[in-house]
Structure 1
Amino acid sequence: MTDRLSIALAQINPAAGNLAANADRLRAARAEAAARGADLVVCPAAGLSGAPLLDLAALPAFLDAVEATVQALAEDTADGGPALLVGVPWRGDSVPGGLWRDGSKRHNAALLLDGGTIAAVRFQAVTDSGEIGGPEEDRFDSGPMPGPVNVRGVRIGLLVGGDLATGDVAETLVESGAELLVAMLASPFAPGRADERVQVGVARVVESGLPLAVVNLIGGQDERVFDGGSFALAPGGRLVAQAPLFAEHLLLTRWERGDDDGWDSSEAETIAPAEGVEALYGALVLGLHDAVTKSGAPGVAVGLTGGLDSALVAAIAVDALGPERVLAVRAPLPGSPEAEFAGALADSLDDAAEIVDLLGCRLDNVALAPLLKAADSLLAPAFAGRDPAVAVDRMHSRLRAATLAALAERMGALLLSSVDRTDRLLGLAPEETGCGYAVLADVPKTAVLELARWRNGNQPAASRGPAGLVVPERVLTRRMKAETPAGLPPAEALDDLLAALVDEGMAPAGLMARGHGAETVTAVWRLVVQAEAGRRRAPPGPQVSRRRAARLRCFPIAGGFTDLM
C-alpha cells in the first residue's frame, strides 16, 4: 500500500487544435514534474486539444489525430516516470481492453497514461453545469457515472469539467472507493469566479470527506479567457496550495496517508489570486496576448484618437506584447470630436504623442485630408441638393478604418478595435471594418475609466510595459467631463440600463422601478436593435463578464420590434 503520493498540477496554455505543440507542452511539464519527484501529472480538461473547439470537436479527422497523439504520449510513459492525466475530446465509449465505438457520441474525457499504455478512460458525466467546469460550446455528450482510477496503488476519483459543480459525481466516486479527488477544468474567467471555484471545491470536500486537487486551463482562445488559479484542498476544506491567475504554472502537491487511512497534505506553494479591477486587467492582457501569438501575427496596430478607449487599448497591448510589437497610428478626421477634445487638432496630436512617449511604442501619423477631399469631390454630384452630413461622416469614418486596416495588413499586424461594450451595443462606435480583435468588446464604459486609473497606479504581474503613468491625466479628465449623446443618460446610468435590459432581460416595469425613465428606455432599446447588423460584423473580443453567452445577445436585423414600452 502506498502511503505517499506527489501530484503535479500542470496549469498550461494550449492552442485549440494544435495537437503537436500542445503535446510538447505536456511533455515539458511532465519532465519538470519528474525532476521534482511527482508520481502523477494532471493537466486541465482539454489540455491536449485546447478549448473551445467548437465544431472541430466533431470532425472525424481531428478526432483521429487526437487518438494518434494520445497514443504517442502514452508510449512516452513507458520510461518509468510519472503517470499523466490528459484532457481530450474522445469518441464513443472507448475503454482499454474492450474497445467499442459509437461514432455519434463525443465526450469530454480524462485519460490516464501510465506504463506505456492508456490505463484508464473517464468521461464527464454532467455536461450542463454553467461555467464552473468549462465552456459548453463544444457540445459533448454525457458519460456514465465514473468509478475511481488506480494510480500507484491509490484510488483517485476524477471529476471532469462540470462534474465538480454538482455533488452527485463526487458521491458516486466515494461510494466506489475513491481515496482522493482530482478535478480537471477548463473554466473561463469572470469577475469573482476564481473564488467561486474554490468555494465549490470546499463544498465537495466537506460533502465527501476527501481531499481535492483542482487544475484549471489558462489562456485566451477566441472569445474565452481561461484564468488558471489551480488549487488543492485538504480534508475539511483547508486550502493548502494555489497557483496564480493568468500564467502557466506547475503546482506540486504532496499527500500522505494518515493513521485513519485518510489523505492529507501540508501547506505548499500558495499564490493569492488577483481580484477586482486587477483581475479584469489581467484577463484583457492575456486575451490579447494569445489572440496575437496564437495567430502568428508579429504585433498589433492601434488607431489612437486622443481618447481614453484607444489609450487604454494601447496600454494593454504594450503590457501584453511589449512596446516593440505595438504600432500606434494617428489618423485624425478633420472636424471630428477627436480633433476637438482640447479645442484644436494640435492638442489632440500632442495627447497621442504623450501616450506613445509614456508607453515607449512607435507612432505613425497618417494625413487623411487628401483622401477625404478626393472622396468628397467624387461623390459631390450624388449629394447635390441634399444634406450629406451624416453620409459624409460615415464615409470618412469608413475610409479611416480602411486606411488603418491596409496599414496593419501591410505589416502583417493585427488591427485592434478600441470600441467599448457600451458603444458597440448602441451602435455609437466608429467603423470597425478590418479590425481583427476588440479588446474592450465586453467592457462597459464605466469600467474603462476604472481600468485606466488602476493601470496608472499599478504595474501588472508579468507586464512587458512600463511602470507608472501610461494614460495622461488630461485624457482621464476629459472622459469624466464627457457628455453622452443627446437623449441618453450619463455613463453610469447607461451601463446599468444596458446590463438590465440586454443581459438580464428585465421587463419595462422593472427598468422603471430601477430608476430609468420610459423615454430613455425606449430610446436605448431602439438603438440596440438598430445596431444589430453592425454588431454581427464586429471583430471578436475577450468575454470578461458573467454572461454565459460567448457573444452579445442577437436580435433580428431590420426587425420590427422597436417599441419596448
Structure 2
Amino acid sequence: MTDSLKVGLAQLNPKVGDVSGNLAKVRAARAEAAKQGADLVLTTELVLAGYFPEDLVLKPAFQKACHEAVEALRADTRDGGPALFVATPWREDDKLYNAIVALDKGEIIGKRYKVDLPNYGVFDDKRVFTPGPMPGPLVYRGVRIGVPICEDVWTADVVECIAETGGEILLVPNASPYEVGKTDVRVQLGVQRVVESGLPFVYLNQVGGQDEVIYDGGSFALGADRRLKAKLASFREEVATVEFRRNGKGWECQPGPIAPELNSIESIYQAMVLGLRDYVNKTGFPSVVIGLSGGVDSALTAAVAADALGAARVHAIMMPSPYTSRESLEDAEACAKAIGIKYDTVSIEPAMKAFRAMLQPLFGNRKEDVTEENIQSRARGVTLMAVSNKLGGMVLTTGNKSEMAMGYATLYGDMNGGYNVLKDVYKTTVFELCKWRNRQGRVIPERILTKPPSAELRPDQKDSDSLPPYPVLDAILKGLIERDLDATALAAEGHDLATVNRVWRLLEGAEYKRRQAPPGVKITSRLISRERRYPIVNGFRG
C-alpha cells in the first residue's frame, strides 16, 4: 500500500471532433506528467471527443473513433509510466455514457459514468447520454479514488455515495464554461463537498473556446482541511502535478503553486481573446476582417483580434458615407495605426447612389427614413463579405449585448459576419474593457472613449436618440435578462416604469434578429441567444 500519490492534472484545450488530435494532446500531457513524477494522469471531461460534441457524439463512427483512442492509450500504459484516467464517450450495453475510463499497465482497471446530466443553460447532456448508476470509488494501487464527473459535484448525492463506499480522494474532471465570477463559485462548491465528505478534492477544468462557450481552466486542489493547496492558470493549457500523502486520518494534498486570480475585467478580456483565437484557428480561417468605424465597439474588437491572432492577421476597413464625421475618419485611422493592423478605406457613397436610383421607381417621392439608413449598413455588410470572399478572412461583427438586446443593429448589414466577440458584453462594460486594455498599452484613442456613441447613418445622429443612456439601459437589461425580473420589480428598484416597458418591448421585438446573428463569446450568466430562448411569435407583453 502506497503512502504517496502524485496526480498529473492535464488542463487541455481539445477540439471537438478531432479525436486523433485530442489523443495526441493526451499522450503529450502524459509524457510531461511522467517527467514531473506523476503516478496517475487525470484528463478533463470528454477530452477525446472535445466538449461539447452535441449530436456528433451520436454517430457510430465517432463513437468508434473515441473507443479506438482509448484502446491506443490503454496500450500506451504498458510502458510502466503513469496510469491514465481518461474521459470519453463510452457505449456499453447499447447505452451511451459520459465516462471516465481508468487505464493502468495495459488494462482497463475500471469505468465510471456521469450520473447527473445537466440540461440547462448551454448544457444539453440528456439529449445524447444515459445517466450512469451511483458510483463507488475506483481502486488504483490500493487507493480508493472517487471520480465524479463535472455536474456530479454540483449537488451532494454522488460525493456522498463515494464517501460512504470508502472513497479517499476526489478527482473531478470538468468542462465548466466561463462566466464572470465563476471561479469563486467553483471553489466554494469544492469547499462544500470537502466539508460534507472530509476528502481532499481536485477540480480539473478544460480550457479553450468551443463555438460560443469558453472554458477557462483555473483548475485547483483543496485539502481535507478545506484550504486551497494549488491552482493552475486561467485561459491556457497546463500540465501540473499535485501530491497526496497518507496521514493518520486519511489523505492530504500537499501545497503547490497557486496561480494569481484575474479581476473581472481582465478575465472578460482574456475570455474574448481565447474565444476568438480558438474559433478562428479551429475553423481554419487565415485572418479576420473588421469594419472600423471610429467608434468604441469596432476599436475594442480590433484590439482583441490583434491580441488573439497577431496584428498581421487583422484587416480593418473604414467605409465612410456622407454622414461620416471627420473625427471618425481620424479616429479609425489612428486606432488602426496604434494597434498595428492593415487599414483600408472604401467609400459606400457610390452604393448609396446606386440603390437610390434602383429603388426610386418603387419608392417614388416617399421621404427618406430608416430604410435608407439600413441600406448604408447593408452596403457595408456587402463590402466586408466581398473582401472576405475574395481574400479569405472571416468578418467579425462588432455589436455589443446592449445593441443586440434592443435590436439596434441592421439585419444583413452590421450583423453580417462569422463571429462577434462583444455579443455578450454590455456597452458600459465595453468602455471598462477599453480603459483596461489601454492601461496595458494605449491602442484606443482617447476621443473614441469620450465622444457620444453614434451609428452616423444620418446627420447629427446619436445612440441616445433611440436608446436610454447606456448606464440606465444596461441596468434594466441585466434585470430583464440575467435576473428575469418584470417591469414592476424593476420599477420598485428605482427605474422609470415607462422606460422599463419600452426596453422590454424592444427586447422582445428583436428576437427574430438575434436568431440570425453570428455566434459570440459567452461572458455573462445568460448568453442572450443560447440561454434565453424566447419565441419569435410572442403575444405576451408583460
Q: Same fold (TM over 0.5)?
A: yes
Q: Does 1:151 align with 2:130?
A: no
Instruction: Determine which of 240, 247, 251 is the counterpart of 2:236.
Output: 247
Return the letter of the residue paired with 1:288. L
Mean Cα displacement is larger for which, 17-26 or 111-120? 111-120
Does 1:521 pair with 2:500? Answer: yes
Q: 1:197 to 1:204 in 2, by over 3 A?
A: same
Out of 364-373 and 542-551, give the one that drifted further.
Answer: 542-551
Deviations 1:139-158 (A, max 9, x none): 43321111111222211111
Instruction: Tell me, yes or no, if the aligned pair for 1:53 and 1:138 is still in contact at 8 Å.
Output: no
Contact 1:333 1:400 in 2 (8 A): no
Residue in 1 aligned with 2:397?
417
Measure, in 1, the Cα distance between the counterparts of 2:486 and 2:503: 14
SS in 1 for 2:428: helix
Residue by residue, what CA displacement relative to the aligned partner does 1:213-243 show, whole Å, maximum 9, x if unpaired? 1210010101100010111111211211100
Tell me which of 380, 391, 398 is aligned to 2:378: 398
Report the AA paired with residue 526 of structure 1: R
Point out the more displaced range, 384-393 or 12-21.
Answer: 384-393
- Alignment partner, residue 440 of structure 1: 422
SS at 2:425 equivalent: coil
* 2:97 is the counterpart of 1:107: yes
Q: Are the aligned partners of 1:223 and 1:550 in contact in 2 as well (CA < 8 Å)?
A: no
Map 1:240-389 → 2, pairs under 5 A? 240-258=229-247, 260=248, 262-335=250-323, 339-340=324-325, 344=326, 347-389=327-369
Secondary structure class of the residue paired with 1:88: strand
Give the conservation status (yes or no) of the 8 Å contact 2:119–2:125. Answer: no
1:315-372 per-residue CA deviation (whole Å, 9 max, x = no partner) reads 011111111111111112322xxx13xxx3xx32211111111111111211222222
User: Aligned partners of 2:75, 2:293: CA distance in 1, in Å?
Assistant: 55
Q: Is the 8 A contact 1:530 1:558 kept in 2?
A: no
Aligned identity (percent) is 43
| Cα pair 2:90 2:97 within 8 Å, conserved | yes
Provide the residue aligned with 1:463 in structure 2: none
| CA distance 1:138–1:479, shift in 2 (3 Å) | farther
Note closer, same or farther for the CA distance 1:559–1:266 as it changes in structure 2 (3 Å cut). Answer: closer
For 2:258, the aligned partner's letter is T
Please point out which of 223, 228, 239 is paired with 2:212.
223
Q: Contact conserved, 2:514 with 2:529, CA < 8 A, in 1?
A: no
So what's the TM-score if we normalise by structure 2? Answer: 0.94
Please say if 1:477 is aligned against 2:465: no
Contact 1:164 1:204 in 2 (8 A): yes
1:120 to 110, 122, 139: 110
Tell me which residue corresponds to 1:192.
Answer: 181
Measure, in 2, the Cα distance between the counterparts of 1:426 and 1:366. 29
Quote the Cα distance in structure 1 between the aligned partners of 2:287 and 2:297. 19
What CA deviation, in whole Å up to 9, does each residue of 1:256-313 have, x standing for no partner? 212x151123321210221211111111111111011100111111110000000000
1:553 aligns with 2:542: no
Contact 2:293 2:318 in 1 (8 A): yes
How far apart are the structure 2 equivalents of 1:552 and 1:187? 15
1:106 aligned partner, one-letter code: L
CA distance in 2, matches of 1:285, 1:364: 24
2:397/2:416 contact within 8 Å kept: no
* Other structure's SS at 1:26 match: helix
Instruction: State the distance in 1 between where 2:330 and 2:528 align.
Output: 40
Partner residue of 1:169 out of 142, 146, 158: 158
Consecutive unaligned residues in structure 2, runs of 5 or more: 455-460
Q: Distance in 1 between matches of 2:407 and 2:417?
A: 16
Contact 2:297 2:398 in 1 (8 A): yes
Structure 2 counterpart of 1:97: none
Q: Indicate how the Cα distance of structure 1 residues 129 and 256 shifts in structure 2: closer, same or farther if over 3 A, else same.
A: farther
Letter in 2 for 1:309: D
Q: Structure 1 550/376 Cα, relative in aligned 2: closer, same or farther at 3 Å?
A: closer
Amino acid at match of 1:82: P
Aligned-partner Cα distance in 1 for 2:371–2:462: 23
Partner of 1:461: none
* SS of equivalent to 2:270: helix
| 2:462 counterpart of 1:486 | no
Give the distance between the partners of 2:210 and 2:406, measured in 1 at CA: 26
Deviations 1:35-67 (A, max 9, x none): 111111101112111112111122222212211
**Partner of residue 496, structure 1:** 475
Q: Equivalent residue for 1:464?
A: none
| 2:75 corresponding residue in structure 1 | 75
Cα pair 1:241 1:251 within 8 Å, conserved: no
